[in-house]
Amino acid sequence: MGIYKYIYGPVPSRRMGISLGISPIPKKYCNYSCIYCQLGRTKNLTNRRSEFFDLKEIVKEFEDISQKDIYYDVVTIVGEGEPTLYSELGKLIKKVKSMTDKPVAVITNGALMYDEKTRKDLMKADIVLPSIDACNENMFTRINRPSRSINYKNMVEGLIEFSKHYSGQLWLEIMLVKGYNDSVDNLIDFKKILSKINYDKLYINTPVRPPAESFVKKVDPEKMELAVEMLEGISIDQLISEGFYSEIEDDVEAVVSIIKRHPMNQFEIVAFLEKRGNKNPMEVFEKLSYIDEIEVVEYMNYDTYRLI
């Protein structure tokens, strides 16, 4: 099996089980440049929707992989940038749903929720997972560092409007960053905003992989527990995920194909290689060290491999 350009995984998802990913966006194209992003800083900050890749090519790849005996629980449209920037998102969701009986999810930062066309596209998905990391404009600017054309108030109002009409599962996520949005007053303000949104689940997260900025720190366990209690959410730390998977035969290529969209720490890579029967993981790590597009970042006392 060759390396797909738009399809990746399946990869483990603590929220959704085993996820088969679709990436319709070029590397690091986003309308945010979040300080905590595990992919690193946004290289192309834009809020313009475009058909970055031919819809037919993406659909052709999914059609090919759907004919293989690969297990997954959900198809997730996310990848290397903000998926709602893909102008053919609605058509892509519709095409994918016609080829699988598994739910189709979109993981989004929610920035374009103010746009009626984007909301209409997302209505076609079975699960939509927007982020809301700020409870005011200043916090929004500091954490998410959005494109200048994005207004916090409009984004929140768009999310509220979407929730009124969406018939699928709406799962929100708040990323708590130590010293930025984790105070009791912040949580009270979050609670007020959440009361206006019709959502099904709320996940509360904190950075556990190397963030875009070195000053970003995960919140203390006590703060996480308080947030879970006050907001009646689910701590992602408490969810269990299964291992990574790839049908690519070459071990190095298999690892690279995953970390292009989903960073892996050294323990995850070793477990992945052992699962494939590789008895010499150090050889793989050595080969990875010669690949210019890969960087190794030390965070929380372990090394994480991601694409530059």
In this structure, which CATH number among 2.60.40, 1.10.10, 1.10.3470, 3.40.50 belongs to the domain 252-308?
A: 1.10.10
- Pick the most confident of 28-32, 160-164, 252-256: 160-164
The counts of H helices and E strands in the chain are 10, 13
- Pick the most confident of 1-10, 173-182, 272-281: 173-182
> Which sign, positive or negative, has the C-alpha torsion 17, 251, 277, 303?
negative
Give the pLDDT confidence of 286-302 residue by residue, as tens digits: 899 889 888 888 776 67
Average pLDDT, the chain: 91
CB-CB contact of 74 with 20 (8 Å): yes
Q: How many residues does the chain have?
A: 308
pLDDT value at residue 7: 92
Give the pLDDT confidence of 11-32 residue by residue, as tens digits: 888 788 889 999 999 988 999 9
pLDDT value at residue 134: 98
CATH class of 7-242: alpha beta
Question: In the structure, what pLDDT confidence band is assigned to residue 194 with cuts at 50, 70 and 90?
Answer: very high
Helices 89-97 and 55-66, axial angle in degrees (round to 10):
20
Which residue intervals of the chain bear CATH 3.20.20.70? 7-242
Backbone angles phi, psi at 203, to 5 degrees: -105, 135
Structure tokens, 149: 């054309």
Structure tokens, 179: 């010293």
CA 221 to centroid of chain Cα atoms:
23
- As a whole number, mean pLDDT of residues 55-74 equals 93
- Measure the CA–CA gap between 208 and 186, rounded to whole angstroms: 21
Question: In the structure, what pLDDT confidence band is assigned to residue 112 with cuts at 50, 70 and 90?
Answer: very high
Q: How far is CA 59 from CA 47, 53, 71, in A?
A: 24, 11, 19
- Measure the CA–CA gap between 9 and 23, rounded to whole angstroms: 11
Residue 54 has pLDDT above 90, yes or no: yes
- Measure the CA–CA gap between 67 and 139, rounded to whole angstroms: 46
Which residue intervals of the chain bear CATH 1.10.10? 252-308
pLDDT value at residue 21: 92
Residue 239 has pLDDT above 80, yes or no: no
